[in-house]
Amino acid sequence: MKIIKGRKIRDLQSKARHGDVNAMHELSYCYYNGKGVKENPRMANYWALQAAKLGHVYSQYNVGISYYNGWGIKEDEKEALKWFKKAAQGGDTDAGYYVGRAYYFGEGTRVNLRRAVVHFRKASREGHVKASSRLGYMYDEGLGVKKDYKRAAGLYLKAAKKSDVEAQYDLDQCYEKGLGVKKDLARSVFWYTKAAVQGDMYSQCNLGVCYADGDGVNQDYKKALHWFKKAAVQGDSLGQYNLARAYYEGEGIKINYRKAYHWFKEAAKDNHAGSMYYLGEQYFEGQGVRKSIQRGLAWYKKASDYGYAQAHCILGVIYNNGKYVKRNYKLSVKYYRLAVAKNDGTALTNLGRCYLDGHGVKQNYQKAFVHFKRAALLGDEEGQYYLGCCYKKGQGTAKNKRLALKWLSLAGRLICPTTKN
């Protein structure tokens, strides 16, 4: 809109007072943006509302936005929706998108996904980028429409080409998983990069993972570290965790336990369970912090409370050994079972040993064998070893020299421990 100054402002004010709807709209714009007059939200909304009542479509949209954001007026989602609907009926595409949002999120009305689809679809056809992205997500998840990955990918692509970050992120997920498009990790990386460059922290983190694992690109730990840092600084807990792991394990950078601790701590603030587990490990080992068994145990328990399998398992080991706490076989078994529920191979082996030795549970060779077999099939070497011993000794299963040799060889150990029967 043309910038208006001086005497022309007074002319606009005069015309607006005499009922000129376009002058009302222009005057509200001037007050909204401080063009030719001091910025004044109250006066901006007053003149926008006068124009809106006379049917000026853009003013109707502006009034809706003011009510929606609480700009210069009390926030009111119902009133916002009323004006968005009026503007949408007058052909304003942005207003149509906001009507769709209202039905999608239940803003000023009840959630109605089918109505949301109708409005997003219309706005999308008229070229509204966010509407295309949101409609793509609805097809992706089957919200208000039948799930259709192909349509979802097409809509994501439409919005992604217009630099919509959310659509770029969702599209790279499609290529990564082969949803609605042929799986193509290189294309996935392409769209991750597009979104990451625009500052999307989730894409930055995922792009870092691609470089760390060599998925769709040549493996490059330094580039992985670069993107993890970008995501971490923005507050992405997974990016913070991945950056901490890089410092902890020395991937792409020299090991630095203090920096690892810092980023694990940041991620833990966002309830990242894996970071809590590693904080426990750092306190137990005195890595980057003063050694503290008490604090380490507290972090392990917190990670366990958030369902982290490795934390369940390590607590099982701690209570089984009785080195740092009073030995408690029953509590040990409880933690092992929590980890087993998440299909943790180490926990399966350890619970199998509890059944083998009768620690915390009634001795049961059959159950021990079942747990060792599950662990072995998951690739756990200890599980493979004890499974081989079960076949060798006939514990919980019939003796089988061939299978005993197979599993003991996989474990790299051929001599079984002496067990009291």
CB 32 within 8 A of CB 44: yes
Burial class for 91, CB neighbours closer than 10 Å (0-12, 13-18, 19+)? exposed
Q: How far is 272 from 278, CA to CA, in rounded Å?
A: 10
* DSSP 8-state assignment for residue 20: -
CB 165 within 8 A of CB 200: yes
pLDDT for the residue 5: 52
Half-sphere exposure of 259 toward its Cβ, with a 13 Å CA cutoff?
15
Q: pLDDT band at 2, cuts 50/70/90?
A: very low
The amino acid occupying position 357 is D
CB 206 within 8 A of CB 213: no
Domains of the chain: 343-421 (1.25.40.10)
Q: pLDDT band at 418, cuts 50/70/90?
A: confident
Q: pLDDT band at 35, cuts 50/70/90?
A: confident
5-19, 123-137, 142-156, 187-201, range with the lowest pLDDT: 5-19
> Mean pLDDT across the stretch 52-65?
96
Q: What is the pTM of this model?
A: 0.84
Q: How far is 24 from 47, CA to CA, in rounded Å?
A: 5
CB 363 within 8 A of CB 356: yes
Q: pLDDT band at 248, cuts 50/70/90?
A: very high
| Residue pLDDT, tens place only, 259-301 | 999 999 999 999 999 999 999 999 999 999 999 999 999 999 9
pLDDT for the residue 299: 98
Name residues whose C-beta falls within 8 Å of residue 192's C-beta, 6 or more positions apart in sequence.
Answer: 168, 169, 172, 203, 206, 207, 210
3 pLDDT more than 70: no
pLDDT for the residue 338: 98
> Mean pLDDT across the stretch 53-71?
96
Q: pLDDT band at 421, cuts 50/70/90?
A: very low
Q: What is the dihedral of CA 272, 274, 277, 278, to 10 degrees?
A: -110
| Residue pLDDT, tens place only, 198-218 | 999 999 999 999 999 999 999
Number of alpha helices (DSSP H) and beta strands (DSSP E) in the chain: 23, 0
Q: pLDDT band at 419, cuts 50/70/90?
A: low
152 pLDDT more than 60: yes
Q: pLDDT band at 1, cuts 50/70/90?
A: very low
What average pLDDT does the chain have? 95
